[in-house]
Amino acid sequence: MTSPTKEVSKVIDAPIGEVWAIISAWGSERLWFPGVIKSSVEGFGIGSVRTLTFSDHSFSVSERLEVADPSTHTISYLILRDDDKMKKSRGTLSLTEVDDDGAKTRFTWTGRSEWIAPEFKPQLEDMLDGMFNGAIDAVAKIVTK
């Protein structure tokens, strides 16, 4: 198993079911993910591919859904593009209840790659930090209105 390239974890003041309802809607990221100007999905469920187009980085990324487990509140995906900077990159979003009354949720987003060019790793870590923090904050804003 590779070590995480980047991991961001935050507590959201909302029940796990409300957060799960947003992040498990594979292909709807345009509605909540900062900087995504277009999102689409081909197929349904495990194996389906979403494509996200970002405004600020002027790029698109396609990701294949590998895990969508409502019992563990986990989503995992594989990025379908390898290049000379990174290989076999994956993301995992996981939710856990924080307190006994179920009013708070820990949202953890982890990015991993089997290989990253050493000179690219700091840039990738910074980019993922901004993306993961921004996305978690956006979900928190929606569910705590």
Whether residue 95 lies inside any domain: the answer is yes
Whether residue 83 lies inside any domain: the answer is yes
Can you point out the beta strands (E) in 1-104?
A: 6-12, 36-42, 49-54, 59-69, 74-79, 86-97
Residue 59 pLDDT level (bands cut at 50, 70, 90): confident
Whether residue 1 lies inside any domain: the answer is no
Whole-number pLDDT of residue 38: 94
Whole-number pLDDT of residue 4: 78
User: What is the count of structural domains for the chain?
Assistant: 1
What does residue 17 show for φ and ψ, rounded to 5 degrees?
-65, -35
Secondary structure class of 59 (helix, strand, coil): strand
Whether residue 77 lies inside any domain: the answer is yes
Q: Are strands 49-54 and 36-42 parallel, antiparallel or unpaired?
A: antiparallel
* Structural domain span for residue 87: 6-143
Secondary structure class of 68 (helix, strand, coil): strand
Residues 53, 62 contacting (CB under 8 angstroms)? no
pTM of the predicted model as reported, rounded to 2 decimal places: 0.93
Whether residue 94 lies inside any domain: the answer is yes
Cα torsion 77, 113, 110, 60: sign: negative
**Residue 85: C-alpha distances to residues 8, 81, 115 (Å):** 22, 10, 8
Whether residue 57 lies inside any domain: the answer is yes
Check which CATH number belongs to the domain holding 109 and give it.
3.30.530.20
